[in-house]
Structure formats: structure tokens, C-alpha cells
A and B are shown apart, each in its own frame.
Chain A
Amino acid sequence: MSQTGGGSHSLAFRVMRLCRPSFNVDPPLRLHPSDLFVGEDIFDDPLAASSLPPLLSPTTSSPSPDPNYRHRFLLHHSSDAMGLSALLVLPQSFGAIYLGETFCSYISINNSSTFEVREVIIKAEIQTERQRILLLDTSKSPVETIRAGGRYDFIVEHDVKELGPHTLVCTALYNDGDGERKYLPQFFKFIVANPLSVRTKVRVIKETTFLEACIENHTKSNLFMDQVDFEPAQSYTSTILKGDGHHSKRESLIRETFKPPILIRSGGGIYNYLYQLKSSTGSSAQSKVEGSNVLGKLQITWRTNLGEPGRLQTQQILGTPTTKKEIELQVVEVPSIINLQRPFVLKLSLTNQIDRELGPFEVSLSENESYVERVVMINGLQSMFVPQVAALGSTEFQLNLIATKTGIQRISGITVFDSKEMKSYEPLPDLEIFVNMD
């Protein structure tokens, strides 16, 4: 096929990823004249100390030669040696792109032919596995003309919200020099990877839930953690817990300029966050909802190179699921003095927490599972009959007990058995009592 025939296009797309520029870091080969012209200890000599400095100062040496490249050889200021002059450099390679970042690209459509092209309709869109997103479309107002050797430029931006392969599709529909309507498609493929992984651990201590989140950085750059906020579900309030890090005295002197940033190292670095969640409704009974316990989600914002932002949020983080308890068994009264081998009475209440009648019940001491002989036993009939309890109602009853040993003992294993449903509930937690000598 001929190369100059219908196959060749007058137009061509040139694409360059336009993420933020970086500072050029290049420690230079530059020095102070006193480190080159003379021996290092010459200034020990008072005569040299007074006479040399004017001689060594750059401005008094021979008049500026032409061309003058003194600035590539001598230091103007000591910190020039660091090589960080704030000179910016354009991104030199495509680099990696991650979920949560913004893909930004400079697109230039060049007319490299020797004739003008007209009525150019340009389109740019991103195609992923799931969708096509239109970034630019000049159909409504086509570019009237691009002269020979001319260009039409545009910059597109797209927030990356999907993983996997993406294609930037650039198309141009135009009339070439011969008046022929031509179509030029060009494709640019890139892959979006996952920048972070978040591992969580939930611990419940009494009324408080603690959420530990560990963030791991899978990218090739260090991530500056701008904000890692936990957004709790409606029934919770959350506070972040921060440790008191080591703050040396020196650091605290310059604290105003320098606040230690949270920087997670590239390629596997981690950082942990700890949140304390409290139930916002106050009453524990009300907040126990049947089913899974949604705690909330993490909103993560990070920055890389020159503040290039990225943001992600996790899925809903779940706490330990709480099942609603149907009945609540509580101790109402324990006698103040319990004597050895003297029967005593334990008052209990049984509350029906659901909206239908439950019962009748049998209350007894469960089978002794441990090897240790049970010290406190039921005095009399081994199981207590408790009649039905109405919906959301409660009833009180008494258990006759007797202790067989002195000292601190436990009443354990008081279990409620629903005779109608044929199921037993969790036993009452152990109750400690003190048994006196008679």
C-alpha cells in the first residue's frame, strides 16, 4: 500500500501525560574558592585570614570572561550545594496511575501536511470495561480550520474511579486538503492500579468500640497522608486517638515551621490509625440493632508529588454483629449476709425484650461443665418454673440457693430454658458472693 495514498493522515495526535511537575534535584559540582585555591588550614595564619578573603571573593577575581559560566563552578550561597533551586521539570515518563487520582493529559492535534484541514470535529473519551466517559467533543462547534503546520491543543482531566485497563480514545473527523472527509482514531492505553490497602480490627471494650485501621502503600512514591477521617454511621460518634510521639526539645523549638508529617513509604510502607467510637444515643439497649453492626467508613486523602491529590473511601466497616437478645435475665437482690450451709434467696428478674409473649420458662443451674465441684447449689427443686411473660413485660422470681464452702464463691450457670420453644439461653454471668462461717 502506498504510504502517501489515502492511508496517510494530515493530522496526528500528540499526547503527553500532564501530572504535576517535580522539583529538579541535582547537587551540583560547585564549591567555594577557599576550598580550591588554598590549603584547608591556611586561615590559621592571621595574615592570610585578613588578606585572603577579598582575593577569594568571586566579584574581585578577574573581570567576567565571556562566556561567563562562573555560576556552574562557584557557589553563590552554601545551600546551592543541595541542588534544590526550585527549578521545575516536566514529567519525563508516563509513570503509574492509581485509583483515586486524576488523569490529566495535554493533547495536541498537529497538521503536519502542507495543506489546510477544515471542519475538524475532535472527540476525546475514556473507555473502561464498564463505561465510556466523554471528555471533549467539538461536534457542536467544530474547529473551522487548522493551517498547514498548525496545531489545536486541549487538556483533558478525568478522575480515575475504576481499576484495570483504561483507554484514552482520541478521534478527529476532518476535511483534508482534497476535500475528503477523513476519520482519524488514535488510542492510548493505561492501567489503573490500587494504591492502598486498608486492614481493620474492631475491639469492643464495655461501651466503647475501638477501630484500628492499618494503611499500606502499594504505590511507587511516598504518600503524604493529608487526611484520614473516619466517618461514623449515624449511631456513633468517633474520635481519633493519637499517641504522644517523641518530641525532642530541638524539634519543639522549631515546631512552628515543622510539624512532623505523616509520610508512608513507597512500596509497602504502613501506618496505623486508631479511632474510638461511642454510641451516640447513649442507651445501650436502644442501640442494639438486629443484624450487622455498621460502624462507618474511612475517607482517605493523600498527596504525592507537589501536592498531586488522591482520594478514596473504604466500604462500610462492620463491627461485631449483635443479635438482639430476646430475654434479659438480671439479678435484682443478693442478701448482704450469706452463711455457710444456710439457705438464702436470690431475687432475679426476667424481661421479655421482644414484641410477642414468651415462655413458660424453667430456670435451673446448667450442667456443671468444669471439673471443679459447684459450690453454690439450688436448695430444693432443681428447676424453677416461671410462667409466661407478656410482650415487652417482665417478671420477678426467687431462687433458693445454698453455699457449701466459705469465702469468696461464685454462683454460676443460672440458665433459662424456654419450654415452649425448647431452647435455652446464655447462662447468667458468674456472680461473686462471700460466704461466712456460721
Chain B
Amino acid sequence: MESSSPRSESQMDPLSTPSFSTLNDLCHDLTSLQDLANRGAWRSVIDKVSRARALNLLQNPHDHLTYLAYNALAFAKLRRFNEASAELDSMEDLDSHHYRYETYPKVYPNRTGSMVPFSLRWLHALLPIKLGHRNQGVDRLYTLLDFVRDKIRDKEKNNLEHSVQIWKKREVFVVNCIIGNHLSHKEFTVCLSLLNELLSRDSLDLLLVSQLGYVQLQIGDLEGAKVSFSKVEDMVEEAKKGNGNGSLLLNEIEMMNLVNRNKALVYLVGKDYVSAVREYEECIERDGSDVVALNNKALCLMYLRDLSDSIKVLENALETVPTMALNETLVVNLCSMYELAYVNHSDIKRTLSNWIARVAPDDFDATCTRTTSLQTLLWTVNDRRSSSKKLSSKKLPHHQLSKPTAHLQNFLNILVDEKRIDLQKAIAKEYEFVYSTIIDTELAMVKLESQHWA
């Protein structure tokens, strides 16, 4: 799409097009930016922004801000958090008058308020967390929450009905981000308290009540979770009968699948994996792209000792609904299964990685394919005692410590393949440590935690 026409003194407010018919009315070439974002082509977004800036295609202040927001978001998506931070640092304080419509009366006659996209404030709070300064980030999130609440009061006072709705939605969004952060750090008591605060305002939110159930399950409060899930089920029943409620943000299939998935979790926790699989199959029947059902079904199959089928379910999901199924958690699970199922799993993992590289969006975190490769590695060391028990007449060779065993050789080959042979020093150290603590015993266990694979 073309850039907007050159400005003149008598230009109308670019945002006052009577019908707001296309995205490009909101910002220069927004349709194209949005398209790139929807594809997950974040590198292209960065290119586009840099080109627009270089060629001076952005005429209006609000264009610059929107492009900046896209740029910062793109960097964050690509996990280039320092560059994202730099984008935000290039701005003045977000409450500065430079970012208000009324500062540019010639460009926006009769328009007041802040033109800062809200996502910038959110990124401002999120980036310190991503950069490892969790406390600063959490402080900023709570400060942001206060800011949003002030805005709500302000808009209410001025009877700006629609704005109030938008800012209330932002309030819920920020609280959800805060809960997510506390959850990642296993601060469950705070989470429960915040969840209940949200629910006290809108106890009819099916997803939220379900999420309360999930938190209760995570901590082990099985009875509490059952109560939450049955509430969800009741609400869905009511909705199906047509007794609509305000929070019908899910369509019928989504609601029914939610109920089935919740039921499946209760079965799973009770170790009734067969029933859990049945519930998930109902979901998949209704919606073949229900990734949660697909992923969790595969896990249940594994707990039923059916590793082959669990792998099939995940591979099948990736094949039939690739854009929905391609998420890091599903890939982590699949790779764990590969490591268990195949002694030489590097080949199959490489095939998967190659496929991912072709199909995945820019922001896909490919490190998930390495996972904790070799959660446990079993070696047999100094088989002296066991060799005397051998039934065969052939004397088994005596494995000297200096000669690598077949397993070790295999493992080293894998390392070379994966170009991670630099790890051998760390491994040798582990091996030495383990051996030195063994006195004529037959055991060796080397546990390679994921941090070794940094």
C-alpha cells in the first residue's frame, strides 16, 4: 500500500476519516505490518520498520509510535530483549506531552489524549523480567495496574463509556500477566488470591474458573479443583439451554471441549488414563485442532505404556494441523518421547528440527528440540562382578576405564553430530567425580541437567 499523501497546512486530522474502513486509515501501511505479524514473520517486521524510517515514510507522530511498538514487539518475539529495550529507551517518558494529540493541533485538530499504544507500557514492564530483573519488572507491572485503575476512574468521571470498557479490559489483561508471572515462580498463594479477586468481579468467566481449577490441581488441591470444574460444567449447561450469561466469549464447541478437557484432567489425576483419553478423543472429534487435547492425549497414552501411539498422536498433529500444533511444549514432549524410544534418537530429532525450520514462525524457540537430551544415561562401569555370572562360555571383555564403552562411544558420536563436542570436558568431569565415589560397585548414573546444554 502506498504511503499517505504529503502533508499540508490544511490537512485534516488523519485519524478522523469518517468510516475508518481499513487498517491503513489508522496507520501507514498497517495492513502489511499486520499481515507479517500474523504470519509470525517478525524479522520482516523489523526490516519493514527500519525501511520506513530510513525512507521517511512515516509522516505522523502516531505512525512513528505504532511502528515503534511493532518493532519493540518484534525484537521481544525474537528474544532480542536488549534491542527491544533500546527501542523503548529511545522514547521519552511515556507520559510526556510529546505523545499527546493536543500537542499537535495542526495534525490532530480537536483530538485529545495519549497516542501511546498501550502495548508499549506493557512491554516496558515485561522487558526487565525477560532481561533477568524480575523484581523490577513485577514492580512495574503492579505500577501499571495502578495506572490503568486511575485511567478507569478518570474515564468514568468523564462518562467516556467505551473508553471505560477498553481500560477495564486492559486491567484484566494486566492482572492476568501478573498472575502468570507469579505462577511461573510457583507463588501459588498470591495466584489464588488474585484469581479470586478477578472471579469476584466476573464469576461467570468459564476460562478463568477453569484456570482456578488448574492452579488447584497443580498444588494438589484435588477437591477444590473438582468444585471449580463442576461450576464450569454447570455454567456450560445453562448456556446450552439458552440461559445466556454475559461472558459467552466462547462458542459452543469451545465450551464443550473445555468441559471435556477439565473432566479428562480429573481422570488423569486419578490415574484413570483410559477415561482421560476417551474425553480427549471427544474433543478432537469435535475440533481436530484442539492442541491441548491432542498433546494431553499423547501424554496419557505414554502413561498407559503406549509410547509408540503417543508419538504417533503428536506427529500426526504436526502433520495435519501444523500451524496450531507447532508449539514449544508439544515439541518438548515429542523430543522426550523420542529420547526414550530410540537409542539413536539424533536422526529422528534432526528430521523434526529440519521440518520445524521450514515451517515455524520466526519467534519459535528452536532450543526446545534439544530438551534434556538424555535425562538419564545408564552406563555399566567395571563389570568385574557381573562377568563371573555370565552364562556364555565366551569371556566377556573387561571394560577398562581408559577404553570407552560402546555406550560412551555412541554418546560421543551423538555429541559430534550435534556439534556439542565442547561438552566433553564437562562430561569427563562428571564421569570422574562419579567414578571416584564408586568402590568396586556396578553402578554409574550421570544426570545431565538442561543447564549443561546452555
Contact = CB atoms under 8 A, between A and B. Distances in A.
Q: Do A and B come from one complex?
A: yes
Interface of A: 1-3, 5-9, 12-18, 20-27, 29, 31-32, 34-52, 55, 61-62, 64-73, 75, 77-90, 92-94, 106, 108, 110, 112, 151, 153-155, 167, 173, 180-183, 185-190, 221-224, 226, 250-251, 253-254, 256-259, 261, 263, 266, 302-308
B390 interface: yes
Interface string B410-454: 000000000000000000000000000000001111010110000
A239 B200 CA distance: 34
A214 B211 CA distance: 32
A373 to B, nearest CB: 62
Contacts of A78: 169, 172-173, 176
Given A84-B214, A183-B389, 11 more contacts: A18-B302, A23-B217, A38-B62, A46-B162, A55-B23, A79-B208, A88-B299, A106-B305, A151-B307, A257-B228, A261-B224
A79 B176 contact: yes
Contacts of A27: 177, 180-181, 183-184
B218 A306 contact: yes
29 contacts: A1-B403, A16-B339, A25-B180, A29-B363, A35-B117, A36-B69, A36-B119, A39-B62, A40-B114, A49-B162, A67-B40, A69-B39, A78-B172, A82-B211, A84-B180, A84-B214, A86-B210, A86-B262, A87-B327, A89-B329, A153-B305, A181-B392, A183-B390, A185-B442, A187-B378, A187-B444, A221-B186, A306-B218, A308-B220
Given A41-B114, A61-B34, A67-B40, A94 B26 contact: no
B163 A49 contact: yes
A90 B268 CA distance: 13
Nearest to B166: A43
B156 to A, nearest CB: 12
Q: How large is the interface on B (under 10, 10 to 19, 20 to 34, 35 or more residues)?
A: 35 or more
Nearest to A22: B218
B142 interface: no
A108 B77 CA distance: 38
Nearest to A15: B376
Interface stretch (B4-12, B188-196, B237-245): B188-196
B113 interface: yes
B307 A108 contact: yes
B394 to A, nearest CB: 5
A323 B298 CA distance: 64
Nearest to A75: B173
B203 interface: yes
A93 B448 CA distance: 9
Contacts of B200: 250, 253-254
Interface string B108-125: 000111111111011000
B3 interface: no
B60 to A, nearest CB: 11
B378 A15 contact: yes
B396 interface: yes
Given A3-B409, A78-B173, A93-B372, A73 B184 contact: no
Interface stretch (B46-54, B85-93, B289-297, B349-357): B289-297
> Dominant SS at the A interface?
mixed
B336 A16 contact: yes
Given A21-B299, A185-B380, A29 B76 contact: yes
A87 B296 contact: yes
Contacts of A88: 268, 295-296, 299, 333
Closest 8 CB pairs of A and B: A41-B113, A303-B220, A27-B180, A39-B115, A224-B220, A49-B162, A69-B40, A187-B443
A138 to B, nearest CB: 14
Contact of B324 (A71, A151, A221, A254): A71
A397 to B, nearest CB: 64
B177 A307 contact: no
A79 B20 contact: no
Contacts of A12: 343, 378, 407
Interface in B234-257: 249-250
User: Most B CB atoms within 10 A — which of A12, A153, A182, A187?
Assistant: A187
B116 A40 contact: yes
Nearest to B79: A29
User: Most A CB atoms within 10 A — which of B18, B76, B196, B400?
Assistant: B196
Nearest to A2: B397
B380 to A, nearest CB: 6
A65 B391 contact: no
Contacts of B76: 29
A45 to B, nearest CB: 6
A341 B114 CA distance: 98
A20 to B, nearest CB: 8
Interface string B372-395: 100110101001001001111010
